[in-house]
Amino acid sequence: MKIDAFHYVQLGTAYRGLQPVPDEEVIDLYGGTQHIPLYQMSGFYGKGPSIKQFMDIFSLPEMALLSCVVDHFLGHGLEFDQAHLYKDVTDAIRDVHVKGLMYQWIERDMEKYILRGDETFAVLSRLVAHGKQLFLITNSPFSFVDKGMRHMVGADWRQLFDVVIVQADKPSFFTDRRKPFRKLDEKGSLHWDRITRLEKGKIYRQGNLFDFLRLTEWRGPRVLYFGDHLYSDLADLMLRHGWRTGAIIPELEREIRIINTEQYMHSLTWQQALTGLLERMQTYQDAESRQVLAAWMKERQELRCITKALFNAQFGSIFRTFHNPTYFSRRLVRFSDLYMASLSCLLNYRVDFTFYPRRTPLQHEAPLWMDQLCTGCMKTPFLGDMAHIR
């Protein structure tokens, strides 16, 4: 199911197996409300006592496998314990990763699975040319990283990075002080010598952020770190260490393409206009007015469903419920200064470009919102002079 930033389930997005759960049943399951109590929600790393947040690339096969197996059991009248099923599926997904099977499959067909190689090389080269110091911290083993980077960047890829760390074991890399760095040779064998400095061109395994900070002296907002997982990559760095962070969200490319379509813009504009009309006209309670209001309510709900389906027929946008940000969006803006579909998006900007934060309207600043500008439901001094902001 899909949950908004305030822990409410978006009705119409709850599924048992492959079948939608009726809204009435969802509300009944949560004690007569769509709200999920805080104690059931995800913890800091996205795993709560009874709910797990699916929010990365590994979530896709995990959700698909869970849904299909549940659907099979239900369709054949088989009894099963949900906890056992969840553990087995989670273990299967983990083993594919941990045992190296995924790496083997990708290495067999680099052209299919590794994208944007030329663009990645262009970004890295541009940053180095402007005097930036680059580092790579990954949970993947060196053999896989080396093959992938050779495919994308070339045989001399290590010369682009001042520090390369593999099998880092994030997110514990950012919080556990006990694991020391170890040097790897070209064959992947571990050295025994104590690490007193991190050298360019060398490969290091595991370690921890506290030693990394001590050895590099790269601290605070001077560092900009990119990652594709909000919890494993970004959360600790922003909250504990004050680094600037950039989130890579591949789904953003498709979502932006949809919101730029004429159908989406027309649907959203009329939906906002209807919302403003309903808010303004609800004071009229005669029979004819109530009939008009009911028709507007019905049309507004239909538009909301149409807008949702433009992104995904089952769940809609990953960034919004009907009107609120999703739980994922809330975490995204909490743990990232920037977010983009790909690192290659940086090629659209100069290296010294400054991204300024947007001023998000608060509720008491609502007269400046577009739906009220369109419907004129509130009058603001000097609003006529500000019409050009539309």
The Cα 182–Cα 92 span in angstroms is 30
336 Cβ contact partners less than 8 Å away, ≥ 6 residues apart? 230, 234, 238, 245, 246, 247
Q: For residue 247, which of 260, 259, 256, 235 has the smallest C-alpha distance?
A: 235
Contact status, residue 352 vs residue 334, Cβ threshold 8 Å: no
Contact status, residue 89 vs residue 66, Cβ threshold 8 Å: yes
Contact status, residue 334 vs residue 236, Cβ threshold 8 Å: no
The CA angle 327-332-335, to the nearest 5 degrees, is 125
* Residue 260 per-residue DSSP state: T
Which segments within the chain are labelled E, that is strand?
15-16, 19-20, 135-137, 163-166, 181-184, 203-206, 224-227, 244-248, 338-340
Long-range CB pairs of 142-150 (<8 Å, 24+ gap) are 142/166, 142/167, 142/184, 142/188, 142/203, 142/205, 143/103, 143/188, 144/103, 144/106, 144/107, 147/107, 147/110, 148/106, 148/110, 148/114
Helix, strand, coil percentages for the chain (3-state, nearest 5): 50, 10, 40
Contact status, residue 248 vs residue 56, Cβ threshold 8 Å: no
Instruction: Using the structure block, give the residue that is written with the tokens 């808010």.
Output: 279
SS3 244: strand
- Determine whether the annotation assigns residue 95 to a binding site: no
- DSSP character string of 329-383: HHHHHHH-SEEES-GGGGGGS-TT---PPP-PPPGGGGGGSHHHHHH--S--TTT
| Residue 130 buriedness (CB in 10 A; 0-12 / 13-18 / 19+) | exposed
The Cα 322–Cα 307 span in angstroms is 8
Residues belonging to the binding site are 228
Binding residues for Mg(2+): 228
